Amino acid sequence: MADFEWNVRPERASLRRAVRHALRDLDPGLRIVAEDFLSIRSRMDLLGVAEEGEIVSVRIGLGTSGEELLTRALADLAWLRPRAADLLKLVPGLGIEPSAEPRALLLSPDFDDETRAAVENLPLRTLELIGYRAYRQHGGLGVVLEPCKPRGAALRSPRRIGSEPEDPTRASRPTGFRTGLRDEDLRVEPEPDPRSGTPSSQN
């Protein structure tokens, strides 16, 4: 069986987790603070606070039309806007800036032309479209994110991803293994030699 598989059909919870991890690379300033939040009638997949203190709704399309995603994201913005100050009062530690306009990220395997055109009517960064492709490797689900480039505007993503999926055989391919450690963290610091007070070569 192949180690790497495109075109998987992920379940929403797994997809949400994979997106959450992929967003760390795509937008390091975005802190996801909650999942599966009820907005007006439907659930935001992820809720985050970005670098400038703006609240960010993340909607992931999974068998959802672009129009539906767009409507829900716009509703999220309207729902979040009057609550920013209250959320700040309730949760000061999150770093919410009440004067910052909320934003929304829409993720979908593809967006149709009408959805793309509709988004261009909004102020820059209010609503961003991000394409995703899910893959499975070594048993783990991952996603490749590709921001949709608005006409006339440069990509703001710190990591630009090509329109074609990355070659899975490349050394930099994603892996399901997770750790926040580096090999240096696993090196044992030499303990002081009690006789001389200098680091011992043992240990």
Chain contacts with other proteins (rule: CB under 8 A): 1, 3, 13-14, 16-17, 33-38, 43, 47, 82-83, 85-87, 89-94, 136, 138-141, 175-183, 185-189, 203
Residue from 159, 126, 156, 155 nearest 145 by CA: 159
Rounded CA separation 142/89 (Å): 36
Residue number with CB closer to other proteins (39 or 115): 39
Task: Say if residues 153 and 174 touch (Cβ distance below 8 Å).
Answer: no
In the complex, what is the shortest distance from the CB of residue 17 to other proteins, in angstroms, rounded to a whole number?
Answer: 7
Residue number with CB closer to other proteins (154 or 186): 186
Residue number with CB closer to other proteins (36 or 114): 36
Phi-psi region of 139 (alpha: psi -120 to 50; beta: other; left: phi over 0): left
In the complex, what is the shortest distance from the CB of residue 133 to other proteins, in angstroms, rounded to a whole number?
Answer: 18
Residue number with CB closer to other proteins (63 or 92): 92
Task: Say if residues 133 and 143 touch (Cβ distance below 8 Å).
Answer: yes
